[in-house]
Amino acid sequence: MSDAYLSRGVSATKDEVHSAISKQDKGVFAGAFCKIIPDPCGDPDYCAAMHADGAGTKSSLAYIKYKETGDLSAYYNIAQDSVVMNLDDLLCIGATDGFVLSNTIGRNAHRVEGKAIKAVIDGYTDFCEMLRSHGIGITMSGGETADVGDLVNTLIVDSTFFVRMKRSDVIDCDNIRPGDVIVGFASYGQASYEKAYNAGMGSNGLTAARHLMLHHDYAAKYPETYSGTIAESKVYCGSYHVEDILPGTDVTVVDAILSPTRTYAPIVKKILDAKRSSVHGMIHCTGGGQAKCKNFGSGIHYIKDNLFDTPPLFKAIWENGDIGDAEMYQVFNMGHRMELYCGEEDAAFMIEAAKSFGVDAKIVGRCEASADGKNHVTVKANGQTYEY
């Protein structure tokens, strides 16, 4: 396996993080996708969750796009990334309404102007308004904008979410069982609630994507966008410039990588409103990619042998040659970023719910009992088999 991700200072598996938190309390539902705590109001029928995440190093690429083009949409859209990386994790525990959002923006004021901050805040406001139109209520409670140039070279856009919900409504991944099918929801294309084509990037794997795709010209031009701890040979070692068109699409490379992280909230709300009890688990395939599911359920062999065709963006990253086949599926979503576990008899409803919003969906695999009682993932794609 290539170390394309780790050599750039990022871990796909986060083994050290999992080890550090291994002794922490697992919460009210130990198998849930997010930690769930007792209700702060003391109601035994309710529980709550608080979640923090952000746009990650996508903001470094937004900075480059703005410097190259003057287009503030680069900053506007990363607010959506920051929201979705929290919201769609919380969808996986069954929460679809009543969210409270606080955002944190850290910037280097010498490099990131006030109008960029306004674009980010406008992005938060407009995206939350779109979600409210689909019945997903998010209350913006303010936040913090800090000038921390000693710590941040460009910009960091993070969010914290809080939600309170009925315990009876919780989706617990411990309910994933042998015999379940895996319904995957596509990460690429254009949903009815999206403004443009989405190349499927999301907000994980950005460090690898930037350096594997963009030309080395940007290393000297924007040294503030990468860490000095990365070997020179690993910095912006791709063949593309910002204005180049991504092969197989009509969008530029930079816009493909910066595609705002797709939310599946309208789809999941429609499914849970009608068939909550039929959903045994949901997994947001972010850090860990197609191997993310290995961390959930018990004694499950996850077999994914009917994945979507690899989208153009991931093909282009792959063709760089600096990342191994198996690592691609462990770093990137490779075509679907949300998966739902249910009985085969319920899959058709889940698929049609996604398609009603213009998002492709299909059965991408199945669950079997593992022979050794441990979790395993097998990915079969492109004539190859990868084991995790």
Does residue 161 form part of some domain?
A: yes
Which residues does 84 contact at the CB level (< 8 Å), separation at least 6?
Answer: 202, 203, 260, 261, 262, 263
Residue 269's Cα: distance from chain center in Å? 18
Does residue 79 form part of some domain?
A: yes
Q: Which residues pair with residue 198 across a beta bridge?
A: 189
Does residue 1 form part of some domain?
A: no
Query: Does residue 332 surpass a pLDDT of 80?
Result: yes
- 3-state class (DSSP) for residue 272: helix
Phi, psi dihedrals of residue 189, rounded to the nearest 5°: 100, -155
Predicted structure pTM score: 0.94
Specify the pLDDT at position 60.
96
Residues 301, 378: contact at Cβ < 8 Å?
yes
Which residues span the domain enclosing 11? 6-387
Residues 373, 299: contact at Cβ < 8 Å?
yes
Nearest to 199 by CA among 190, 208, 207: 190
Task: Express each pLDDT in 198-209 by its tens digit.
Answer: 999 999 999 999
Measure Cα distances from 61 to 79, 108, 201, 214, 313 in Å.
14, 15, 13, 10, 15
Q: Please compute the mean of the pLDDT values over residues 299-307 and round it to a whole number.
A: 98
Query: Angle at Cα 319 formed by Cα 318 and Cα 324, nearest 5°?
Result: 45
Task: Express each pLDDT in 87-115 by its tens digit.
Answer: 999 999 999 999 999 999 999 999 999 99
The more confidently predicted of residues 86 and 12 is 86
Task: Express each pLDDT in 128-186 by its tens digit.
Answer: 999 999 999 999 999 999 999 999 999 999 999 999 999 999 999 999 999 999 999 99
Q: Please compute the mean of the pLDDT values over residues 36-62 and round it to a whole number.
A: 97
Query: 1: pLDDT confidence band, cut at 50, 70 and 90?
Result: very low
Specify the pLDDT at position 259.
97
Specify the pLDDT at position 24.
79
Mean pLDDT score across all residues of the chain: 94
State the DSSP code for 335.
T
Query: Angle at Cα 235 formed by Cα 230 and Cα 238, nearest 5°?
Result: 155
Specify the pLDDT at position 25.
87
Specify the pLDDT at position 22.
65
Specify the pLDDT at position 158.
98
Nearest to 332 by CA among 281, 264, 285, 278: 285
Does residue 162 form part of some domain?
A: yes
Task: Express each pLDDT in 22-32 by its tens digit.
Answer: 677 889 999 99
Query: Does residue 248 surpass a pLDDT of 80?
Result: yes
Among all chains, which residue has been given the structure tokens 């065709």?
A: 309
* CATH number (domain holding residue 336): 3.90.650.10
Give alpha helix (H) positions in the chain. 15-20, 58-69, 73-91, 114-132, 206-213, 217-221, 253-257, 265-275, 312-319, 325-331, 347-355
Number of domains present in the structure of the chain? 1
Task: Express each pLDDT in 252-272 by its tens digit.
Answer: 999 999 999 999 999 999 999
Specify the pLDDT at position 14.
59
